[in-house]
């Protein structure tokens, strides 16, 4: 099995010591930094801001992935490209012609991904699988960190994994990326996990010990 990719959910980081957090995560072997952007409309919360993204981009050469939980994300694609995002995730239900948004992401030099929320069916997005590099499966409803994992997603994961060969995309997991879920879903074919408070942050343990344990226990 290929080595798992782990992305740090930076909305869970200690903002009183953000540079220290970034350095510690890099030294621990984190693969990328995950930035959640919310508009208070598509989801009933406000996530990280543009200045957060700009600072994190300036402080690391690691991959920056941005998860847009906003209405009509096509309006912001070019802006996030200029801010240095490497991967841009969008929700298909966030606008009428999301294929146009995916095309714009490609044009701006970023890798496009779609997000499938717990209540959304994979079958409604089959055509999009031809044109995206990544599918991010939500283990919780989008909008808040620290939610309880929704246990009915195993069938969705299995279905997506069977489609990878035909459509050529990778499956990633976001939302309650606990050690238990990493151990359960990585063998099924999930290639990477966004890690927040369920596994990485607020554990009073060094990040390198946590990541080493996660990789060693799969």
CATH for 5-216 (3.40.1110.10, 3.40.50.300, 3.20.20.70, 3.10.105.10): 3.20.20.70
Is 14 in the active site?
Answer: no
Q: What is the DSSP string of the chain?
A: -PPPEEEEEGGGS-GGGHHHHHHHHHHHT--EEEEEEE-SSSSSS----HHHHHHHHHH--SEEEEEEESSSGGGGHHHHHHTT-SEEEE-GGGSTTHHHHHHHHHHTT-EEEEEE-TTS-GGGGGGGGGT-SEEEEESS-TT-SSPPPPTT-HHHHHHHHHHHHHH--EEEEES---HHHHHHHTTTT--EEEE-TTTTTTSSS-HHHHHHHHHHT-
| Annotated catalytic residue within 14, 174, 204, 208 | 174
| Annotated catalytic residue within 36, 52, 86, 204 | 36
pTM: 0.94
Is 174 in the active site?
Answer: yes
Domain ranges, ordered by start, for the chain: 5-216
Which tens digits make up the pLDDT trace of 81-137? 999 999 999 999 999 899 999 999 999 999 999 999 887 777 777 889 999 999 999
pLDDT band at 175 (very low <50, low <70, confident <90, very high): confident
């Amino acid at each position: 099995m290929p080595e798992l990719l782990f992305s740090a959910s930076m909305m869970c980081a200690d903002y009183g010591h953000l540079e220290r957090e970034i350095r510690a995560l890099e030294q621990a072997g984190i693969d990328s930094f995950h930035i959640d952007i919310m508009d208070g409309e598509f989801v009933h919360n406000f996530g990280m801001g543009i200045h957060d993204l700009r600072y994190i981009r300036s402080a690391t050469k690691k991959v920056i992935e941005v998860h847009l939980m906003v209405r009509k994300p096509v309006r912001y694609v070019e802006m996030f490209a200029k801010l240095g995002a490497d991967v841009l995730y969008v929700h298909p239900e966030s606008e009428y012609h999301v294929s146009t948004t995916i095309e714009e992401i490609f044009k701006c030099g970023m890798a496009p991904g779609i997000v499938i929320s717990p209540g959304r069916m994979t079958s409604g997005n089959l055509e999009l699988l031809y044109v995206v590099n990544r599918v991010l499966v939500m283990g919780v409803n989008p909008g808040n960190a620290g939610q309880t994992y929704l246990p009915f997603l195993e069938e969705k994961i299995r279905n997506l994994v069977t489609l990878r060969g035909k459509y050529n995309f990778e499956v990633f997991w976001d939302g309650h990326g606990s050690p238990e879920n990493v151990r359960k879903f990585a063998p099924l074919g999930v290639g990477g996990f966004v890690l927040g408070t369920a596994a990485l942050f607020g554990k009073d343990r060094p990040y390198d010990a946590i990541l080493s344990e996660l990789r060693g226990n799969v």
